[in-house]
A and B are shown apart, each in its own frame.
Chain A
Amino acid sequence: AQSVTQPDIHITVSEGASLELRCNYSYGATPYLFWYVQSPGQGLQLLLKYFSGDTLVQGIKGFEAEFKRSQSSFNLRKPSVHWSDAAEYFCAVGGKAGNMLTFGGGTRLMVKP
């Protein structure tokens, strides 16, 4: 069975500081990995995805994520956080063989001025 763990429920960073959100997954084959962002009261928006190839993927809003197969991780990073990045972030895993995405529990990011 596939699963996703986001160990940090809440994270607070200062504006301008760097950010790393952790994601660990369990999947029996080559995973397809996603990060979504949800602003308050909104649906989820795709930030970036990893299917194959370069393990460092770039996304929208200046985010990037690195796939590390040996660690079963897909951590999201941003070099300098903006106040508008305050939101909830979800990591998800799926596979080519199926149509189901499994989501992590989410990490709520707060940004201090």
Chain B
Amino acid sequence: DVKVTQSSRYLVKRTGEKVFLECVQDMDHENMFWYRQDPGLGLRLIYFSYDVKMKEKGDIPEGYSVSREKKERFSLILESASTNQTSMYLCASGTVANYGYTFGSGTRLTVV
């Protein structure tokens, strides 16, 4: 089975800190995605990547950046965390035409 692993399940950070959320997949997928999930707002795409060193903005990229130095790893970076970035963050990898996306277990980030 495809596995997508997010390094932290729960994270508490202070306002202004630089935060790294890590995601690793083990199935050689080219496509990787970062979403945030908030009550009543569903899943919103932050950034995605089709290949190493390639990134594309999603619907809500402001305040975030990403890094994809290796195919299996896609990192989400909060340059200066703010309280409105408190959320559940979900990483996914995969292709629509194969089996859709496989999701990680999520990272619940609280910024205080």
Which A residues have a C-beta under 8 Å from some C-beta of B?
A: 9, 32, 34, 36, 41-46, 49, 51, 90, 92, 94-96, 98-101, 103-106
Hey, which chain B residues are within 8 Å of A104, CB to CB?
Answer: 42
Interface of B, secondary structure class, is strand
Find out whether the CB atom of B101 lies under 8 angstroms from the CB atom of A101. yes
Interface-lining segment among B13-21, B65-73, B74-82, B89-97: B89-97
- Known A94-B96, A104-B42; judge A99-B106 contact (CB<8 A): no
Q: How far is the CB of A93 from chain B (nearest CB, A)?
A: 9
Find out whether the CB atom of B96 lies under 8 angstroms from the CB atom of A99. yes
Find out whether the CB atom of A34 lies under 8 angstroms from the CB atom of B100. yes
Measured CB to CB, the nearest residue on chain B to A94 is B96
B86 at the interface (CB under 8 A from A): no
Q: How far is the CB of A61 from chain B (nearest CB, A)?
A: 16
Find out whether the CB atom of A43 lies under 8 angstroms from the CB atom of B103. yes
Find out whether the CB atom of B96 lies under 8 angstroms from the CB atom of A44. no
Pairs A-B, 6 closest by C-beta atoms: A94-B96, A43-B103, A105-B42, A44-B103, A43-B105, A103-B43
- Known A32-B97, A99-B95; judge A90-B104 contact (CB<8 A): no
Find out whether the CB atom of A45 lies under 8 angstroms from the CB atom of B103. yes
Measured CB to CB, the nearest residue on chain A to B88 is A41
